[in-house]
């Protein structure tokens, strides 16, 4: 079925000549999954049936206390300074964005009255601007009304480099103006297919102008409200101990009817993932625990206690192995892994291909990650419309041996292969985390059988993932042959996610290793496809371009994807809630409730 | 404490009786050591453990990293006498291999700590004045350093150089032994110094001095042997601490590579599975327990045997 016929069908649904269901059935028959078919309809301007999570409580409050566990505790409560998800989550209790992302990767309005679309005149046909209509009658916790002035202030606050906000990238390249008291217009410098960045999702939470006005710029860190938030969210601030505990009480004037359900909320920080899982699943002391980075085997045993369950939410995070395309052992101009060098061993395609065959993804899924890691051949896995159908993975030691033999790598006396005097020895690093060390052991054993000697190295997570310029063991410096970690996708659009493979994002000493391309792998075709996707307004064509980037990256083995890791949270059996893989865990907090 | 015992409780024994049975000091010590039943049993058990970790891998030829997902977390059986871990790796093979490292690290770190401690303590104890004060300042300085951050610093500074020279395993071994030993000598040094202060005023030392013994002879022949009792006990405790410290470092990613199964690391990996695969934690736990206990008893026995003023 070609593009033209597809568009014809979408048009028929739009005109009402064909039912949604019939369209989706036809697409399914063609091997296109339901979410993709839905997406095609949405991009064709067909409204989507509302099938949100059913919220049962019929009055506000009365649900008692909600106790949740974040085993990394929040350290501050200003969303513009929130570095990690832990800080964003805590801020999300009190602050809200204009819109959030639901589990299907669709926008849902929070402080916006509606989601902008071409039909309601909110989106420019040329992708140059977007108009947001704000909800009326929303009040900050101190009673002041929420207006367009607050939105404009957030833009001014975040884009000021002196404020040093983490969200500066979301606001730097746009212009925000107030059209009336409850309408704003966001304009872009160039056609922007992905317009839902500023004011949306994890980095789009809004702070009140009247309390932060005096603390813009270099005084930003002195604002007392950085630690005592006043927002529009379902709970009002009560108490905060950094790294330990956040407490809130019900907001009786919340802008949605019958919400929230609970009278108070307590977020406890500290401990580790396993003890958090026990507190929800085994002892039942807590209602919800975030980020279950635990072997599935353990989780299943804990679930047998009958007090709770593990809630799996699909997302785009990918646990993958990166192959260094530069030489990590030679120093050039004061940095190792310099783009001026080539890796002596990994630049040989035979070695990269063999390594790809030596990662037993199926066993890693079956025996280590279970439900919390799905074996995959793709770097870009979700939302489904961006997932390549052509990539396959295989675990085959014999084939790897043949490829290495054919590539001229001969086994030496000690069983380790060598070529032109270079031994096939590689150092393989990752952060310290039990599932990762097991994954390392599995890969090492397979490599041993193929005559590759891997030296394993593990670095404590707070060092490995830090941006400390002085430390040689950080993942961005990549002073190692191969490394493995999980990279997350924070929004359902892959533009930011896939810039990890473009040549202008290479991490170097000059950009203090802030560049996103850590493998230092460069490819002209990828650069071209990526640039084309950036300006492509047709979502179907844009998806195809990102799929092409993924295929180029994976077939050249710049990275070896292992498992796609969905979000996993531990939930008490009485709790009813929905988590989005594209937003913070607490983005849907207003809809959480407990069944009696 | 040697310092608080009377100088010569054996003085009343008739000299003729001693002459009748001339024992060499070594045989005398062995005779006295044998009287300590627990110490004797401990020697046998520790010797067995050492034999097992040294010769075991030659007999039990299962590779330590052979992954077999069909046999995950299986309890002890004939195929896997100690059971398997959650990757189906044979625990007996891993225990035997890890025991070599853990015991070697423990003993070597103890030797380092004792040597440095005795040396510094002895110099400080025998030389009064500024040398003593300076050395004790040094000891206080080391005691007040927070060990973990300093360890991190030392390891980051020297790990790669040592690895280049000695290879990854030996390099890390040397580093860990030096680092653990280098942070445990202070209590030993203080003990030795305190002993020296008391012993150097005793009659027998004064007698030796009066006879013209040089300072080094006084220290080596008269004071040090009498001061060793508490040092040996402190040293045996250090072995246990060193085994545990090694596993802490491995856990922080600063010790041996993560695929090398030391006892501490096995125990750490097993902790989350304690309720349904207890064998995984029990065997390394028991091994550490036995090693530490036997070394403590042996230290006890040695102190009794080597204390010349104790009647047995």
Q: Which of A313, A373, A302 is nearest to A573 (CA)?
A: A302
C-beta atoms of A441 and B72 within 8 A: no
A150 vs B259: CA distance, rounded Å:
54
CA angle A109, A582, A173 (to 5 degrees): 75
Q: How far is B257 from chain A (nearest CA, A)?
A: 6
The answer to whether position B272 is within a domain reads: yes
Q: CA of A526 to nearest chain B CA: how many angstroms apart?
A: 36
Nearest to B259 among A363, A444, A460 (CB): A444
Substitution target in A366, A414, A458, A461 with the highest count of B β-carbons within 10 Å is: A458
Amino acid A592: pLDDT: 94
Cβ atoms < 10 Å from Cβ of A467: 12
Are the Cβ atoms of B258 and A274 closer than 8 angstroms? no
Domain total for chain B?
A: 1
On whether any CB of chain A is under 8 Å from the CB of B273, the answer is yes
From the list A438, A459, A471, which residue is nearest B253 (CB)? A459
Say whether A458 and B272 touch across the interface (CB within 8 A): no
CA-nearest of A171, A211, A163, A209 to A188 is A171
Which pLDDT score, from 0 to 100, does residue B15 have?
Answer: 52
Contact A432 B252 (CB under 8 A): yes
- Residues of chain A with Cβ-Cβ distance to B252 below 8 Å are 432, 460
Residues in Cβ contact with B93 at an 8 Å cutoff, skipping those fewer than 6 apart: B57, B60, B62, B63, B64
B258/A458 Cβ within 8 A = yes
What pLDDT, on a 0 to 100 scale, did the predictor assign at position A289? 95
Q: Does A394 touch chain B (CB under 8 A)?
A: no
CB contact under 8 A, A441 and B67: yes
Residue B272 to residue A434, Cβ atoms within 8 A: yes
- Interface contact A455-B168, CB threshold 8 A: yes
Chain B: residue whose CA lies nearest to A363: B69
Is A458 near chain B, with CB under 8 Å?
A: yes
Q: Do B257 and A438 touch (CB under 8 A)?
A: no
Q: What residues of chain A lie within 8 A of the CB of B68, using their CB?
A: none
Euclidean distance between CA atoms A236 and A254, whole angstroms: 10
Kindly state whether residue B204 falls inside one of the protein's structural domains: yes
Other C-beta atoms closer than 10 Å to the C-beta of B61 total 8
Question: Which of B70, B272, B277 to mutate to test binding with chain A, by most A CBs within 10 Å of its CB?
Answer: B272
Compare all CA atoms of chain A with the CA of B265 and give the residue at the minimum distance.
A434
How many Cβ contacts (< 8 angstroms) between chains A and B? 62
> So what's the pLDDT on residue A176?
95
Q: What is the largest CA-CA distance in chain A?
A: 79
Residues of B with CB below 8 A from A274's CB? 272
CA distance A502 to A520: 9
The domain in which residue B115 lies consists of 99-297
* Neighbour-count burial of B169, counting CB atoms closer than 10 A to its CB (0-12 exposed, 13-18 middle, 19+ buried): middle
- A501 against B221, higher pLDDT: A501
* 3-state secondary structure labels for all residues of A409-475: CEECCCCCEEECCEECEEEEEEECCHHHHHHHHHHHHHHHHCCCEEEEEEECHHHHCCCCCCCCCCC
What tokens does B212 get? 């013209």
Is B164 a domain residue?
yes
Mean per-residue pLDDT, A85-111: 91
Is the CB of A444 less than 8 angstroms away from the CB of B258?
Answer: no
Give A26's contacts (C-beta < 8 A, 6+ positions apart): A9
User: How much is the mean pLDDT over chain A?
Assistant: 89
- Give the range among A26-40, A100-114, B182-196 with minimum mean pLDDT: A26-40
Please report whether residue B112 resides in a domain: yes
Cα–Cα distance, B242 to A156 (Å, whole number) = 57
Q: Is B86 on the interface with A (CB under 8 A)?
A: yes
Report the distance separating Cα A312 and Cα A310, nearest Å. 6
Q: What is the 3-state secondary structure (H, E, C) of chain B?
A: CHHHCCCCCCCCCCHHHHHHCCCCHHHHHHHHHHCCHHHHHHHHHHHHHHHHHHHHHHHCCCCCCCCCHHHCCCCCCCCCCCCECCCCCEHHHHHHHHHHHHHHHHHHHHHHHHHHHHHHHHHHHHCCCHHHHHHHHHHHHHHHCCHHHHHHHHHHHHHHHHHHHHCHHHHHHHHHHHHHHHCCCHHHHHHHHHHHHHHCCCHHHHHHHHCCCCHHHHHHHHHHHHHHHHHHHHHHHHHHHHHHHHHHHHHCCCCCCCCCCCHHHHHHHHHHHCCCCHHHHHHHHHHHHHHHHHHHHHHHHHHHHHCCCCCC
B269 contacts in chain A (CB < 8 Å)? 434, 437
Taking CA–CA distances from A432, the nearest residue in chain B reads B253
What pTM, to 2 d.p., does this model score? Answer: 0.78
B159: contact with A, CB 8 A cutoff: no
Name the average pLDDT for chain B.
83
A444 CB neighbours in chain B (<8 A) are 65, 259
Provide the token pair at A136.
């009326």
Q: How confident is the model at residue B14 (pLDDT cuts 50, 70, 90)?
A: low
Q: Is the pLDDT of residue A401 over 80?
A: yes
- Report whether B165 contacts B212 (CB < 8 A): no
pLDDT at A49: 45
CB B147 within 8 A of CB B244: no
**Chain A CB contacts of B73 below 8 Å:** 297
Of B67, B253, B276, the CB nearest to A442: B67
How many angstroms separate the CA atoms of A169 and A161, rounded? Answer: 10
Query: CB of B276 within 8 Å of any CB in chain A?
Result: yes
Asked if A366's CB is within 8 angstroms of B272's CB, the reply is: no
Query: Residue B1's pLDDT is what?
Result: 46
* Contact status, residue A451 vs residue A404, Cβ threshold 8 Å: yes
In A437-456, the residues whose Cβ lies within 8 Å of chain B are: 437-438, 440-442, 444-445, 448, 455-456
Residue B269 to residue A455, Cβ atoms within 8 A: no
Contact A465, A474 (CB under 8 A): yes
B166 touches chain A (CB under 8 A): no
pLDDT, residue B24, reads 76
- Residue A209 corresponds to which tokens in the numbers above? 């102008």
**Least confident segment among A245-249, A522-526, B179-183:** B179-183
Condensed to tens digits (0 to 9), the pLDDT of residues A11-46 reads 776 665 666 666 666 766 666 665 566 666 666 655
pLDDT 10s digits, A426-472: 999 998 888 899 999 999 999 999 999 999 998 887 788 877 778 88
Among A273, A274, A292, A297, the residue to mutate for chain B (most B Cβ within 10 A): A297
Find out whether B263 and B102 touch, Cβ atoms under 8 Å.
yes
* Confidence band for A310, pLDDT divided at 50, 70 and 90: very high
Lowest mean pLDDT among A340-354, A537-551, B119-133, B295-309: B295-309
Residue with tokens 């959030």: A100
**Would you state the structure tokens that stand for residue A144, as one six-digit string?**
């002041």
Per-residue pLDDT band at B227 (split at 50, 70, 90): confident
| Confidence band for B167, pLDDT divided at 50, 70 and 90 | confident
pLDDT of A374 over the 90 cut = yes
A432 contacts B72? CB cut-off 8 A: no
| B245 part of a folded domain | yes
Query: Are B251 and A367 an interchain contact pair (Cβ–Cβ within 8 Å)?
Result: no
Sign of the C-alpha dihedral, residues A551, A556, A559, A565?
positive
**C-beta of residue A107 within 8 angstroms of C-beta of residue A99:** yes
Q: Which of B87, B156, B272 sits opposite A441 (nearest CB)?
A: B87
pLDDT for B161 equals 82
Count of residues making up chain B: 312
Task: Search chain B and give the residue with CA nearest A434.
Answer: B269
Q: Is A425 on the interface with B (CB under 8 A)?
A: no
Given pLDDT bands bounded at 50, 70 and 90, which one contains residue A210? Answer: very high
Q: How far off is chain A from B95, nearest CA to CA, in Å?
A: 17
Chain A positions in Cβ-Cβ contact with residue B89 (cut-off 8 Å): 441
Let me know if residue B142 belongs to a domain: yes
B61 in a structural domain: no
Comparing A363 with B18, which gets the higher pLDDT?
A363
State the sign of the Cα–Cα–Cα–Cα dihedral A183, A188, A194, A200.
negative
Asked, for residue B175, whether it belongs to a domain, the answer is yes
Min Cα–Cα distance to chain B from A541, Å: 43
CATH of residue B269's domain is 1.10.3720.10
B272 touches chain A (CB under 8 A): yes
Query: Chain B: nearest CA to A370, how far in angstroms?
Result: 13
Average pLDDT of the residues in A128-153:
94
Helix residue ranges, H only, A101-199? 148-159, 168-171
What percent of chain A is predicted at pLDDT more than 90?
62
Q: Do B272 and A440 touch (CB under 8 A)?
A: no
Residues in chain A with CB shorter than 8 Å from the CB of B85 are none
Phi, psi of A131 (to 5 degrees): -115, 125
Q: Which residues of B touch A301 (CB under 8 A)?
A: 275-276
């Amino acid at each position: 079925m070609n593009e033209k016929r597809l568009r014809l069908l979408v048009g028929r649904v739009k005109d009402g000549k064909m039912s949604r269901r019939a369209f989706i059935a036809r697409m399914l028959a063609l091997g296109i999954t339901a979410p993709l078919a839905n997406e095609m309809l949405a991009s064709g301007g067909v409204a989507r049936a509302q099938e949100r999570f059913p919220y049962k409580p019929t009055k506000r409050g009365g649900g008692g206390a909600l106790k949740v566990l974040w085993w990394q505790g929040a350290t501050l409560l200003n969303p513009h300074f929130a570095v990690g998800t832990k800080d964003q989550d805590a801020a999300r209790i009190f602050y809200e964005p204009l819109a959030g992302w639901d589990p299907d990767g669709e926008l849902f309005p929070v402080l916006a009255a509606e989601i902008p679309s071409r039909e309601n005149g909110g989106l420019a046909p040329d992708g140059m601007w977007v108009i947001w209509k704000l909800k009326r009658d929303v009040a900050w916790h101190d009673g002041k009304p929420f207006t367009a002035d607050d939105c404009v202030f957030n833009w001014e606050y975040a884009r000021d480099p002196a404020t040093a906000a983490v969200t500066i990238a979301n606001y730097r390249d746009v212009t925000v103006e107030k059209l009336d008291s409850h309408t704003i217009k966001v304009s872009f410098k160039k056609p922007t297919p992905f317009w839902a960045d500023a004011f949306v999702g994890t980095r789009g939470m809004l702070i009140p102008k009247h309390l932060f006005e005096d603390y813009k710029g270099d005084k930003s860190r002195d604002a007392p409200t950085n630690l005592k938030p006043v927002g529009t969210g379902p709970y009002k601030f009560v108490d905060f101990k950094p790294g330990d505990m956040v407490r809130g009480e019900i907001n009786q004037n919340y802008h949605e009817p019958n919400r929230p359900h609970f009278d108070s909320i307590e977020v406890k920080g500290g401990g580790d993932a396993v003890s958090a899982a026990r507190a929800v699943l085994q002892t039942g002391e807590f209602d919800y625990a975030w980020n279950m980075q635990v072997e599935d085997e353990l989780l299943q045993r804990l679930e047998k206690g009958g007090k709770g369950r593990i809630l799996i939410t699909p997302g785009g995070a990918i646990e993958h192995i990166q192959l260094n395309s530069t030489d990590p052992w030679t120093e050039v101009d004061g940095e190792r892994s310099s783009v001026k060098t080539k890796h002596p061993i990994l630049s040989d395609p035979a070695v990269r291909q063999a390594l790809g065959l030596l990662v037993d993804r199926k066993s890693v899924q079956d025996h280590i990650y279970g439900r919390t890691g799905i074996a995959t051949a793709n770097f870009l896995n979700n939302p489904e419309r961006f997932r390549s159908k052509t990539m396959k993975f295989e675990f085959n030691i014999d084939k790897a041996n043949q490829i290495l033999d054919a590539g001229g790598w001969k086994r030496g006396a000690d069983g380790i292969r060598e070529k032109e005097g270079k031994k096939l020895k590689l150092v393989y690093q990752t952060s310290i985390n039990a599932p990762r060390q097991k994954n390392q052991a599995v890969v090492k054993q397979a490599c041993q059988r193929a005559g590759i000697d891997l030296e394993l190295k593990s670095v404590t997570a707070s060092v490995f993932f830090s941006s400390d310029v002085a430390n040689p063991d950080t993942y961005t410096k990549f002073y190692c042959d191969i490394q493995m970690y999980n990279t997350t996708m924070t929004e359902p659009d892959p533009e930011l996610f896939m810039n990890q493979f473009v040549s202008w994002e290479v991490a170097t000493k000059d950009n203090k290793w802030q560049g996103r391309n850590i493998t230092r792998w460069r490819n002209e075709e990828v650069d071209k496809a990526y640039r084309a996707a950036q300006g492509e307004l047709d979502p179907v064509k844009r998806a195809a371009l990102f799929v092409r980037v993924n295929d180029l990256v994976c077939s050249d083995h710049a990275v070896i994807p292992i498992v796609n890791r969905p979000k996993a949270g531990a939930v008490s059996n009485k709790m009813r809630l929905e988590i989005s893989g594209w937003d913070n865990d607490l983005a849907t907090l207003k809809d959480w409730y407990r069944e009696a | 404490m040697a310092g608080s015992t009377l100088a010569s409780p054996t003085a009343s024994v008739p000299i003729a009786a001693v002459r009748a049975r001339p024992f060499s000091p070594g045989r005398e010590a062995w005779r006295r050591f044998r009287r300590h039943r627990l110490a004797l049993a401990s020697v046998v058990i520790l010797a067995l453990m050492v034999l097992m970790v040294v010769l075991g891998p030659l007999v039990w030829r299962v590779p330590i990293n052979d992954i077999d997902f069909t046999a995950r977390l299986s309890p002890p059986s004939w195929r896997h006498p100690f059971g398997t871990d959650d990757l189906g790796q044979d625990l007996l093979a891993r225990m035997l291999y890890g025991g070599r490292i853990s015991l070697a690290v423990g003993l070597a770190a103890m030797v380092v700590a004792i040597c440095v401690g005795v040396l510094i303590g002895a110099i400080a104890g025998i030389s009064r004045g500024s040398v003593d004060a300076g050395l004790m300042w040094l000891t206080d300085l080391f005691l007040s350093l927070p060990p973990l951050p300093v360890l991190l610093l030392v390891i980051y500074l020297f790990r790669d150089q040592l690895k280049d020279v000695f290879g990854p395993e030996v390099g890390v071994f040397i580093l860990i032994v030096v680092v653990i030993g280098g942070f445990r000598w202070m209590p030993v040094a203080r003990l030795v110094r305190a002993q020296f202060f008391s012993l150097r005023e005793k009659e027998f030392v004064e007698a030796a001095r009066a006879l013209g013994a040089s300072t080094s002879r006084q220290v080596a022949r008269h004071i040090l042997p009498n001061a060793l009792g508490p040092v040996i006990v402190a040293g045996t405790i250090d072995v246990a601490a060193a085994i545990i410290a090694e596993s802490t470092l491995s856990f922080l990613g600063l010790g041996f590579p993560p695929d090398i199964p030391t006892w501490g690391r096995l125990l750490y990996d097993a902790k989350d599975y304690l309720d349904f695969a207890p064998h995984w934690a029990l065997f390394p736990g028991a091994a550490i327990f036995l090693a530490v206990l036997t070394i403590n008893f042996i230290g006890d026995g040695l102190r009794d045997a080597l204390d010349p003023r104790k009647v047995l």
